[in-house]
Structure 1
Amino acid sequence: MTINLTLKRSTDFTGLVVVPSLAPETITLETAGKDPGEVRLLGGKAVLSLGGQKKLSAEMIRRAGGGLAKWLAKNSVAEAGVELNPLFGLGLPPSSAVNAFVEGILLGAFTFGNYKSENEKKTIALNLLMDGESGPGESDLKGFIQKATIIAESVNMAREWAHEPPNVINPVTLVERAQKVAAEVGLKCTVLDDKQLDEMGAGAIVAVGKGSNTPSRLIILEHAGTAGGKPVALVGKALTMDTGGYSLKPSDGITSMKYDKSGGMAVIATLAAAARLGLATPVVGVIAAAENMVSAAAYRPDDILKALNGKTIEILSTDAEGRLVLADALTYTERTFAPRAMIDIATLTGAVLIALGKNRAGLLSTDDALAEALFAAGERSFERLWRLPLDEEYFEQIKGDDADIKNSGGRPAGTIIGGMFLKQFVTDETPWAHLDIAGMMSADKEMPYCPKGGMGFGVRLFLEYLASLS
């Protein structure tokens, strides 16, 4: 479904009008509904509930926008208008209210039907109505809408690419997609293939891809910005398919592993948005792409690998592969760009789903200021995080017997151990944070502005964080 947005004066529109409205404490058939996104036809207009005053926030407005998108599609509405003025008297900054509303509409409109033989592509014309007298001026409104549109389109790109099956996106075809996007938006794109990675000593990421006919790739995207100085580096795990390798997952555990590339998709989408938005802060995105398969050439339990930073890794489980590709990616990123901050994002451990469920992603960091900034950005964007410890004592679980480090520490504190492993590949000079988004890679059911499937988690969080930097 596509929703085309147009800013228009209220007096120039004569079709169905949607009026956003707070729900009163006492709900009747003549009032707005209780839940954000509920639409009721009252007095010739469609009344869109924003929920109750006590719970009003940008997130509730975003959910209302998502509900409106679904209602328009369900009722086959070809064109409608929605009044913006009610959003300006809610006590929120007009920019926040409009951004959240537009994001919700466009995120709620996302569907993935690329491979359905009967994929009906609906197009809806939605006019955003202003009265020209109160609230922000036309120029400001256009700016708010454009920003929110870029952000939503970037999230939806991350969702769409995450949805793509492994016979369509593999490390090699992912490179082609990244190069195309980079050329379109003005990013610098560099690609290191498996031979180049092997020659430079990146033995961990190369080993993970050895079992596949499409070997590992490291994709580097650069947004120059205008502020100068060191860049912020985002490092994403992109396992285009993860069977577990010789530590084979059960069959139902392999299904949905196309989403194991979600961290990398969030990084690509964030870099594309940074370029389109013209962010002042320089940003680098490094995507570690691999496919973890079983073959005679695949790496095995008991193998010992040598990573790019020279440390040796004893393989206990070939299904703990994400930390291996990230290890070399983190070393490469720090050495090459000396970033002001480095943040990796990965569907790393099932343990984070046990710890935090599907409401928050795990956050581990060596730097309190960076962790606090990311947490705050998560609260503002509603892509929420929760910090876990990185006490040195946890290293004992992965201290190697025959090598420097083991790639698995067993079941206890699984998410923390994943972060502790990655910490061994970052120096103390660089503020670093690790986001474990395994619980947020896909929605099990339809949500207010996300259908079942890939969520695109991390894009709005990163953009909120980057916008907060001076």
Structure 2
Amino acid sequence: MLAIRLVSEPARLDTLVLPIRREGPDTPAALVPTARPPADEVRAEAIALVPAARLTGEAGEVREHLRPGGTPARLVLLGVGAGDEQGWRAAGAALARAARDETHITVMLPAEATAALRGLTEGLLLGSYRFRLTEAGGAPALAEVDLVVADPAALASTLEAARTTAAMTRLARDLTNTPSSVKNPAWFAAQVEAAAAGHADLHLRVRGPEELAAEGFGGILAVGGGSASGPRLVELDWRPADARTHVVLVGKGITFDTGGISIKPVPAMKLMRKDMAGAAAVIAATLGAAALRLPVRVTTLAPLAENMVSGSAFRPGDVVRHYGGLTSETTNSDAEGRLVLADAMAYAVRELEPDLLVDLATLTGANAVALGKRHGALYSENDRLAADLLAAIEAAGERAWRMPLPADYVEYLGSDLADLHSSPDRGAGSVVAALFLREFTGELRDRWVHVDMSAPSWSEDAHAELTKGATGWGVRGLLRWLATLG
């Protein structure tokens, strides 16, 4: 991963980056005052270049100016928008792409650099992300970035938080991008075990098919029953001694989704390796909480299954008995995510006694219909909890929108065969899925949040800090939120 260092004076000046900010729609951009000003002649050139090049200062704008024989040899003007954290994050990603053929760059940061440092670091590390299963193709040359600040020691913890957040987001992207020819429930569980090794305060338990059957996890077993790769339930627990709050995170972990007997058409199936992005996000957030030693207990549950078509696959119309005894009728085996989540949530409420319960899931295509490709749909009955999590998601540079839980839609869940109908064909797909999950929250109903993040879990192209493919959505927002609970 790209090496980023804090320095008080530039050590090398082959490529120097100066930030410029947006002043207004009809006003040229302006240089951002930096903690260590550049040499007078460099500053004068930069000031002259801004109007000559018609630079606007929009976040992510990059203009390179060659200075043969000079120091620095290259001057880069970098737009940071209004200068908020998100503007710096977009700038960092654009810089990582523009400077990929450089080996070292130096960036001047402002005197008040906390937001700039966090945003720029995350942008650099996320914008330079690439995933390849093989070694084909050349890696970017850029290996080192020096950030010039007034007091490196004072900002060390901010840099570490940004590095960790980006590293965990990259981990979630790696897990999600991995093809399902490699990734099955056992493989995913092994990745968690490897990542958690060495953390003394992390406790891991992985349940296999026999334990799941013995303990009554009927939803996970039903969904995973059609695959030769048996299901798993990963339970990862971060237990700091000073924790006052216990949060349970649950993430949908369908390592490939054919739709089962209700088989998907090919266009809808081709990216179903991403159907475990919720599990990747909550696992990565828990590992991040441990790395940052956040003073909040976090237990993550990742129900993992491969939803396949075979003679042992569960059928439309089957009744599933979930952990704790509630039953559900499912007439669509492609509505499988809520079945595994229901088991994990019921287990969390009955056995783990959390203060707060949050689940993330690539649950419905209706999420994208309602909110487009970059917003998650957030559901909760708790106004304060919803507002706090939304604020953290926004601050982290992700997006979500709160959706309703209408009381009169609950009747859609009625079944003649079971306690609940898991997949009623009555419209409002994302809302009804959330209402179904709510039935498994028990006494935590008013302390629960569900996030349907199917749409923002994947990007079709590069945009700001996103790269094409898995986005790692949810990791940044969860870490930002967990940091407020200590």
Output aligned runs, 1:319-468, within 5 Å: 319-429=334-444, 431-468=447-484
Alpha-carbon offset, residue 402 of structure 1: 1.2
Using the alignment, how far apart are the partners of 1:351 and 1:46 within structure 2? Answer: 47
Give the unaligned 5+ runs of structure 2: 30-50, 68-73
> Residues 15 and 76 of structure 2 are in contact (CA less than 8 Å); yes or no, is this contact kept in structure 1?
no
Name the structure 2 match of 1:57: 84
Name the structure 1 match of 2:7: 8
Using the alignment, how far apart are the partners of 1:356 and 1:5 within structure 2? Answer: 35
Using the alignment, how far apart are the partners of 1:46 and 1:11 within structure 2? Answer: 14
Q: Structure 1 residues 70, 11: CA separation in 2 closer, same or farther (over 3 Å shift)? A: closer
The count of residues paired between Structure 1 and Structure 2 equals 454
1:75-123 per-residue CA deviation (whole Å, 9 max, x = no partner) reads: x111121112xx335xxxx3222111101110101011223x5222234
Determine which of 104, 111, 114 is the counterpart of 1:88. Answer: 111
Alpha-carbon offset, residue 51 of structure 1: 4.2
Name the structure 2 match of 1:106: 125
Using the alignment, how far apart are the partners of 1:23 and 1:255 within structure 2? Answer: 41
Alpha-carbon offset, residue 52 of structure 1: 4.0
Output aligned runs, 1:22-41, within 5 Å: 22-24=21-23, 25-26=27-28, 28-30=51-53, 32-41=55-64
Using the alignment, how far apart are the partners of 1:83 and 1:32 within structure 2? Answer: 18
The answer to whether residue 143 in structure 2 is matched with residue 125 in structure 1 is yes
Q: Structure 1 residues 398, 71: CA separation in 2 closer, same or farther (over 3 Å shift)? A: same
Name the structure 2 match of 1:141: 155
Determine which of 217, 227, 235 is the counterpart of 1:212. Answer: 227
> Residues 309 and 425 of structure 1 are in contact (CA less than 8 Å); yes or no, is this contact kept in structure 2?
no
SS at structure 1 position matched to 2:172: helix
> Residues 397 and 409 of structure 1 are in contact (CA less than 8 Å); yes or no, is this contact kept in structure 2?
yes
Determine which of 152, 176, 180 is the counterpart of 1:162. Answer: 176
> Residues 360 and 384 of structure 1 are in contact (CA less than 8 Å); yes or no, is this contact kept in structure 2?
yes
Alpha-carbon offset, residue 125 of structure 1: 3.1
Moved over 6 A (4+): none
Alpha-carbon offset, residue 385 of structure 1: 1.4
Alpha-carbon offset, residue 222 of structure 1: 0.7
Name the structure 1 match of 2:104: 79
SS at structure 2 position matched to 1:127: strand
Using the alignment, how far apart are the partners of 1:48 and 1:274 within structure 2? Answer: 35
Question: What TM-score, normalized to structure 1?
Answer: 0.93
Aligned AA (1:46): L
Q: Structure 1 residues 11, 454: CA separation in 2 closer, same or farther (over 3 Å shift)? A: closer
Q: Structure 1 residues 110, 229: CA separation in 2 closer, same or farther (over 3 Å shift)? A: same
Aligned AA (2:104): E
> Residues 327 and 422 of structure 1 are in contact (CA less than 8 Å); yes or no, is this contact kept in structure 2?
yes
Higher mean C-alpha deviation, range 377-386 or range 200-209: 377-386
Determine which of 197, 221, 228 is the counterpart of 2:236. Answer: 221
Identity %: 34
> Residues 348 and 438 of structure 1 are in contact (CA less than 8 Å); yes or no, is this contact kept in structure 2?
yes
Using the alignment, how far apart are the partners of 1:203 and 1:351 within structure 2? Answer: 26
Q: Structure 1 residues 11, 449: CA separation in 2 closer, same or farther (over 3 Å shift)? A: closer
Q: Structure 1 residues 43, 70: CA separation in 2 closer, same or farther (over 3 Å shift)? A: closer
Give the unaligned 5+ runs of structure 1: none
Aligned AA (1:274): A
CA RMSD of aligned residues (A): 1.7
Aligned AA (1:82): V
Using the alignment, how far apart are the partners of 2:18 and 2:402 within structure 1? Answer: 40
Higher mean C-alpha deviation, range 185-194 or range 449-458: 185-194
